[in-house]
Amino acid sequence: MQITANDPSLKSWVPVPADSDFPIQNLPFGVFKTAFHGPRAGVAIGDHVLDLYLLADAGFLQSTGVHAELLLKPTLNAFAALGRSAHRAVRERISVLLREGNDELRKDPGFLSKVLVDRHAVEMCLPVEVGDYTDFYSSIEHATNVGIMFRGKDNALMPNWKHLPVGYHGRASSIVVSGTPIRRPKGQFLPAPDQPPVFGATRQLDFELEVAFIVGKGNSLGQPIPADEAEEHLFGMVLFNDWSARDIQSWEYVPLGPFLGKNFGSSVSPWVVLMDAMEPFRCSGPVQDPVPLPYLQTKGSANFDIELEVTLQPENGSKQTISRSNFKYMYWSMRQQLAHHTVNGCNMRPGDMCASGTISGPTEDSYGSMLELTWRGTKPIPMADGSERKFFLDGDTVGISGLCNQNGVRIGFGEVTGKILEALP
């Protein structure tokens, strides 16, 4: 029987620390650069990056049909566009090359020293050029919490929420790779309900714990993507922090929705975990009641068990966990999100990004935003240095990590971090 790249028994000849997010069963794709060359495609393995351009240029990927020139580009868009069968072929070939007992790459120590790079010595880039970005609102716990805050328990969910995946089109140009600082935004907000609006720096800077999928093979204008075919159009998944200015957002969002309160920055993790790597971690999602309309109905398990953690580190302070949640809580799956997005004929393009919306769990420590964790600032979070947080302060660094763990196999997404800088004068 052929051993696949997901086999839990696989080991790599590349040293992989026991707590690494990047064992041989993962092999996520990203774009990296070094002091010696510009951006190009790579795959993470343990504490190293495998240079896919050099690998292909030397003929090691010839059997996959993927040419070296495609992997020398500054983004993964062209590779994503090849579709899931091509992604699978390259990942399977890399898995074979990195398995214990395979000496193809180790025969030439000089080449090996060039093709296998220390991961801590590279600079990671945004993995794709994001042409369009859509943010969904698909966690029933989050939607209910926010609804209770602003409308009361009797009207927590809007009438349409259980019938369709609610979403809006966000700003693609301000999506940045992990580690990029986030400048505190300015805008209009109400200092008090009975006072006129003022202009200034947000006083309620927040995070949103999200996971995003990246579109691989697109669809033609006017041609919907059926729900049960949706995953064939997905390249992979990344962690996503949709930074939010709550005071600006609450003043501006009626009647047309998020604008300045959202478009100043969103942070993504640099490594794209391919859909094939996620297969062992499938799980059932929440029971949907009422049953969705036929175009949103799917067969089999469509959710994924991804443990999520959010940390907060004050400037010159220690890091502490402020939330633990799980992607499996999502009410609307990625299949349903993409099917709904395209049911009107909307065309998706390689590199387009769709975020899940804030992921909150059923308990107070699993909420996916400061808005919920502190319940609009009424329950501040105590910090180890004696301070407290209702929302974020300048100098705070926020991190999100994601991990799948099953049958002795642990694969992760790495981390997405961002440090908050003070507002411009």
Rounded mean pLDDT, 307-336: 97
In a domain, residue 257? The reply is: yes
106 assigned to some structural domain: yes
Nearest to 272 by CA among 244, 248, 242, 236: 236
Residues 127-172: tens digit of each pLDDT: 999 999 999 999 999 999 999 999 999 999 999 999 999 999 999 9
Residue 3 lies in a domain: no
Same domain, 216 and 93: no
Q: Based on the fold, state whether residues 151 and 85 are members of the same structural domain.
A: no
The CATH number of residue 168's host domain is 3.90.850.10
Which amino acid, residue 81? A
Residues 138 and 77 in one domain: no
- φ/ψ of 121, rounded to 5, equals -105, 5
Residue 381 lies in a domain: yes
What sign results for the dihedral spanned by CA atoms 268, 160, 344, 228?
positive
Q: What is the mean pLDDT of residues 205-217?
A: 98
The domain boundary, picked from 95, 125, 155, lies at 125
Does a cis peptide bond (omega within 30 degrees of 0) precede residue 255?
yes
Alpha-helical (H) ranges within 279-408 are 334-342, 370-373
Catalytic annotation, residues: 142
d(CA 287, CA 331): 8
Residue 158 sits in the same domain as residue 121: no
Last residue of a domain, one of 97, 125, 153: 125
Residues 168 and 119 both lie in one domain:
no
315/242 same-domain check:
yes
**Among 322, 332, 311, CA closest to 136:** 332
Assess whether 60 and 182 both reside in one domain: no
| CATH code of the domain containing 42 | 2.30.30.230
- Nearest CA to 399 out of 281, 277, 314, 316 is that of 314
What DSSP character marks residue 272?
B
Q: For residues 50 and 192, state if they share a domain.
A: no
Judgement on whether residues 99 and 153 belong to the same structural domain of the protein? no
- CA–CA separation, 418 vs 242, rounded Å? 11
Is 185 inside a domain boundary?
yes
The confidence score (pLDDT) of residue 2 equals 76
Phi first, then psi, for residue 411 (nearest 5°) are -125, 145
End-of-domain residue from the set 125, 152, 175: 125
b (16+ CB within 10 A) / e for 147-172: bbeeeeeeebeeeebeebbbbbebbb
H helices of 197-345, where?
246-252, 275-278, 334-342
Handedness of CA 196, 202, 204, 206 (dihedral sign): positive
Domains in the chain, number: 2
In a domain, 98, yes or no: yes
Q: Which residues lie below 8 Å from residue 226, measured CB to CB, with a gap of 6+?
A: 295, 339
Tell me, yes or no, whether 200 and 263 share the same domain. yes
Domain that holds residue 101: 29-125
Residues 157 and 252 occupy one common structural domain: yes
Which pLDDT band holds residue 3 (cuts at 50, 70, 90)?
confident
Cβ burial 206-220 (10 Å sphere, 16+ → b, else e): bbbbbbbbbbbbbbe
Mean pLDDT of 271-284: 98
Report if residue 206 sits inside a domain.
yes
Which pLDDT score is estimated for 1?
A: 59
Q: Domain for residue 16, yes or no?
A: no
Kindly state the DSSP code that residue 328 receives in the 8-state scheme.
G
* Closest C-alpha to 265, from 133, 101, 394, 410: 133
Cis? peptide before 8, omega within 30° of 0: no
- The whole-number pLDDT of residue 407 equals 87
Beta-strand ranges (E) seen in 170-306 are 175-177, 182-183, 186-189, 198-201, 205-206, 209-215, 234-241, 244-245, 266-268, 273-274, 282-283, 303-304
| 138 and 120 co-located in one domain | no
Tell me: the pLDDT tens digits for 6-33? 999 999 999 999 999 999 999 999 999 9
**Portion of the chain with pLDDT greater than 90, in percent:** 98
